[in-house]
Amino acid sequence: MNSFHSLAVPALMMLLAFTPAGQAQQRSRSFSIGYVYPAGARQGATSEHVIAGQFLSGITNIHVTGGGVTATICDFIHPIQGRELNDLRILVDELVAKRAVVKRDYKTLENFRSFKNAKDIKKDSAQEDKEIEALKKKYANATWTPDDEKQLNDARRRIGSGVRRPANPAICELAVCNITVAPNAEPGQRELRLVTAAGISNPMVFHIGQAPEFSEPASKNIAQQVSAVSRIAVFRNTKPKPTMSVTLPAVVNGQILPGEVDRFRFVATKGQKLVIAVNAQQLIPYISDAVPGWFQATLSLYDSQGKELAYTDDFRFNPDPVIYYEVPADGEYVIEIKDSIYRGREDFVYRITIGETPFITSIFPLGGPVGGKTTVELKGWNLPATSLTMDGANKTSGVHPLSIRKGSQVSNFVPFAVDNLPECLAEKSRGGKSHAQRVTLPIIINGRIQKPDDSSVFCFDGKAGQEIVAEVLARRLNSPLDSVLKLADATGNQIAFNDDNTDKGAGLTTHHADSYLTATLPKDGAYLLYIRDTQHKGGPEYGYRLRISAPRPDFALRVVPSSLNARTGNSVPATVYALRKDGFNDPISIQLKDAPPGFKLDKVVIPANTNQVKITLATPLAPRSEPATLQLEGRATVNGGEIVHAAVPAQDMMQAFEYRHLVPSQELEVTVGGVFMPKGAGASVKILSDLPVKIPAGGTARVRLAAPAKAAGRIRLELAEAPAGIVIKSVSPSDGGLEVELGGDAARLKPGQKGNLIVAAYPAPPPPPPPSKRNKVKPPPKPQPVYKGKPLGILPLISYEVVAR
């Protein structure tokens, strides 16, 4: 089929014409935020917050999901170097001298040495007297105003941030803002993003709370890179911080810097049942340049005499600690929080909730059927009831949040799974295959490992050649169970075994402890499936959902990143990941759902046996004053029927220099900046070749583009995140536009491989200068500079297929 794919953007040459070099350079630097402190605010209150990141200049707005939150920017602090730093020092000198003359503080004036003239004064002491007399004369009739005092303090503060080598460049710029939360704003977890002229930042977790908030003063200093010896000295010389007093109930906010220990004092009365819950790793799930990859908090509780009453460094498998404590006597108590190995940095941010708040520790069962009502047993602290009814009438298959209210207070949320398969409860284990519980497939069994070293055994009938899947949902549903599955025949011979199975959709999970196995049954007869905890633990909270069924081919989708920035009439790239389940390997079509006017997505298909695909989203011709919230969905045919799933926005986050996780976000936000582009302005870039382009493994293929003739030589085309083995070998003029030659490496490509290519256009480097008159010899060509960051434009997707040569 002849493809005539038009780029739904103005011509690249218009982009070249209207994008100054400096602006292009600025856009090449991707901005991001690393932490928000405090990482939450109270309903009906206004509070000061610091948002730290990189390349944050030009902030225009702060965007918080869910509504009911407004913000104003108060200050911007960034590293100051070079000439700007010298100018500030000279300004401070002049203001100090002015104040000394006006206030007749001649002692200060006699000790004055200006930064500007310091070298001259050092060489000639007579210069000192001349300068002082000149200053007296200059400011003889001057006055000292509050504005002068403010200017002096601001200049000194800015000089204090003048670091040459920030310790953490990713958080070396600070935006200070006031955030106001409406009284009726819905409490719970939100997402906060910064908006600048360059677009919208990555999201950070931001909580809306109900209790009074207490916060340590934010660190507004930019840490400087120091040697290991200096770090040890700082650690040893760290003075204990004063203990802050708070009243209950309370939410306490703080930051842990190197070697710091934070303490908070409160008064409690006998009989109070306190929940002290930390949010730390939950606020910033992964830190790329720290081991183990997050702030590992420890939490202690002391009485007024300094006796330790409770200590914890986690809550089961969750790194964020929680203490439950029934107060034995009236008096003062102190909580202490620190890093487990006394590390610290500005993004070690935490929130501690203290009070008689409802807290769910476990539920049973962990799920229920679609369309049915499930009575859920609740265990926890300060709960108003021991059970609740979960109605699955209006719920789809998947995981849904469950919580309970106690008056105006809302408990923590725990996951509850809903499925459309038949369900049953596991009988109380009696041990051994002779007491196996008989079940009929397909089935979901809701059970728990009641005590240490316990196990459950289930018996079902199977046929020779029958495929079965056994999958545990436990750790992904907040159960501490570390499951292991074993499938055996009636005589006990093992057929299949599994301990852990990685689920890339569980982006907040680091230990994938849920088991998953598949097997083809060898003969007709009875089969046994064993489940136990691999660490030989157990208890009422060790619940699980065990699915035994034929394979149910399915998929889930993640779209990365969850914040996209584009110019008017342009395209912006993203990646869609397919998380395939139960052997599903068929194609998945991706499309926009209910998009605002002007946003378009050409037909995109994730090919069979492929787990990700590049997409380009075309943007409107007019800029938008606010970010747009978009939704993508995927469609596929399974067993003759269509299944549809929403693509979950996500961030690709690195943990501890190596591991990567797809961390879900609440929304996919897109900004569109630039100037209005009239419809039809400029020529369009179009792909004239048939698609998909056939790239021989070990050969070349050509793609013809309809583009302005003058584009040749003025733009440079590059593949963005190209598949290994595919390169652009050349770009040359052709009839009506350009011709791009693609090369395929036979050693790295396999026939049948499919996907999409994203081609970005950059300004071509300037030509080398002509040889000088003195030297007629042409100098050797210099290597062309590599332009990183945002390109001038993105071409339409070029789908490809690798073929045999």
Report the DSSP pairing between strands 261-268 and 244-245: parallel
Q: Is the pLDDT of residue 311 over 80?
A: yes
Selected residue with higher pLDDT from 636 and 57: 636
Supply the pLDDT for residue 15: 39
Supply the pLDDT for residue 805: 86
Instruction: Give 576's pLDDT tier (boundaries 50, 70, 90).
Output: very high
Q: Compute the residue count for the chain.
A: 805
- Residues 188-223: tens digit of each pLDDT: 999 999 998 889 999 999 999 999 999 999 988 777
Instruction: Give one word for 361, left, alpha or beta, with left for phi > 0 and alpha for psi -120 to 50.
Output: alpha
Establish how many alpha carbons lie within 13 A of residue 240's alpha carbon, considering only the half-sphere containing its beta carbon.
7
Distance CA 183, CA 217 (A): 24
Residue 335 near residue 260, CB atoms below 8 Å: no
Residue 259 near residue 253, CB atoms below 8 Å: no
Distance CA 575, CA 647 (A): 11
Distance CA 466, CA 459 (A): 15
Supply the pLDDT for residue 550: 97
Specify the residue for token string 């419809």: 679
Instruction: Name the token pair of 421.
Output: 């398969």
Selected residue with higher pLDDT from 420 and 231: 420
The highest-confidence range among 52-61, 81-90, 536-545, by mean pLDDT, is 536-545
Q: Please, what CATH class does the domain formed by 685-803 belong to?
A: mainly beta
Q: Does an H or E element contain 439, and which?
A: none
Residue 697: C-alpha distances to residues 700, 701, 729, 800 (Å): 8, 10, 14, 12
Instruction: Give 23's pLDDT tier (boundaries 50, 70, 90).
Output: very low
Return the bridge partners of 275, or none: 324, 355
When pLDDT is averaged across residues 604-623 and rounded to a whole number, the result is 91
Residue 408: C-alpha distances to residues 84, 384, 405 (Å): 52, 12, 7
Selected residue with higher pLDDT from 11 and 717: 717
- Residues 721-757: tens digit of each pLDDT: 788 899 999 888 887 788 899 999 999 999 999 888 9
Residue 194 near residue 627, CB atoms below 8 Å: no
Q: Do domains 555-673 and 685-803 have the same CATH topology?
A: yes
Q: Per the omega criterion (within 30 degrees of 0), is the bond before 607 cis?
A: no
Specify the residue for token string 């920030």: 166
Find the distance separating the first CA and the last CA of the chain, reported in whole Å. 21
Burial class (CB in 10 A: 0-12, 13-18, 19+), 713: exposed
Q: Does an H or E element contain 368, and which?
A: strand 367-369
Distance CA 44, CA 388 (A): 31
Instruction: Give 8's pLDDT tier (boundaries 50, 70, 90).
Output: very low
- Residues 658-692: tens digit of each pLDDT: 899 999 999 999 999 875 545 444 445 778 888 89
Instruction: Give 112's pLDDT tier (boundaries 50, 70, 90).
Output: low
Q: State percent of the chain over pLDDT 70.
A: 85
Helix (H, G, I), strand (E, B) or coil at 333: strand
Distance CA 43, CA 251 (A): 12
Question: Amino acid identity, residue 516?
Answer: Y
Supply the pLDDT for residue 121: 43
Distance CA 371, CA 395 (A): 7
Q: Is the pLDDT of residue 709 over 60?
A: no
Burial class (CB in 10 A: 0-12, 13-18, 19+), 141: exposed
Chain-wide mean pLDDT for the chain?
Answer: 87
Least confident of 48-57, 741-750, 763-772: 763-772
Distance CA 144, CA 422 (A): 82
Residue 32: C-alpha distances to residues 134, 169, 367, 666 (Å): 48, 11, 38, 17
- Residues 352-376: tens digit of each pLDDT: 999 999 999 999 999 999 999 999 9
Instruction: Give 226's pLDDT tier (boundaries 50, 70, 90).
Output: low
Least confident of 155-164, 503-512, 537-546, 581-590: 155-164
Q: What is the DSSP string of 649-700?
A: EEEEEEETTTEEEEEE-S-EEEEEES----TT-SPPPEE-S-SSEEEETTSE
Return the bridge partners of 391, or none: 373
Cite the beta strand spans of 145-272 per DSSP E: 173-181, 188-196, 199-200, 204-209, 213-215, 244-245, 250-255, 261-268
Computed from CA positions of residues 557, 559, 560, 561, in that sequence, does the dihedral angle turn out positive or negative?
negative
Q: Per the omega criterion (within 30 degrees of 0), is the bond before 401 cis?
A: no
Instruction: Give 11's pLDDT tier (boundaries 50, 70, 90).
Output: very low
Least confident of 129-143, 272-286, 289-303, 448-462: 129-143
Selected residue with higher pLDDT from 479 and 115: 479
Helix (H, G, I), strand (E, B) or coil at 621: coil
Helix (H, G, I), strand (E, B) or coil at 280: coil
Distance CA 15, CA 17 (A): 5
Question: Amino acid identity, residue 409?
Answer: Q
- Residues 493-552: tens digit of each pLDDT: 999 999 999 999 999 998 999 999 999 999 999 999 999 999 999 999 999 999 999 999
Establish how many alpha carbons lie within 13 A of residue 336's alpha carbon, considering only the half-sphere containing its beta carbon.
21
Q: Is the pLDDT of residue 234 over 50?
A: yes
When pLDDT is averaged across residues 55-73 and rounded to a whole number, the result is 93
Least confident of 128-137, 437-446, 794-803: 128-137
Supply the pLDDT for residue 237: 57
Instruction: Give 12's pLDDT tier (boundaries 50, 70, 90).
Output: very low
pTM metric for this prediction: 0.84
Question: Amino acid identity, residue 491?
Answer: T
Query: Which option is the CATH number for 429-550: 2.60.120.380, 3.40.1360.10, 3.40.30.10, 3.40.50.300?
Result: 2.60.120.380
Backbone angles phi, psi at 182, to 5 degrees: -65, 150
Contacts of 299 (CB under 8 A, 6+ apart): 276, 278, 311, 312, 313, 321, 322, 323, 335, 336, 337, 352
Distance CA 48, CA 36 (A): 11
Question: Amino acid identity, residue 353?
Answer: T
Distance CA 228, CA 736 (A): 61
Computed from CA positions of residues 411, 369, 537, 453, in that sequence, does the dihedral angle turn out positive or negative?
positive
Each domain of the chain, given as residue ranges in start order, spans 82-160, 359-419, 429-550, 555-673, 685-803
Helix (H, G, I), strand (E, B) or coil at 157: helix
Assign domain 555-673 to its CATH architecture: Sandwich (2.60)
Distance CA 351, CA 373 (A): 35
Distance CA 616, CA 621 (A): 16
**Nearest-5° angle of CA 600, CA 602, CA 608?**
140
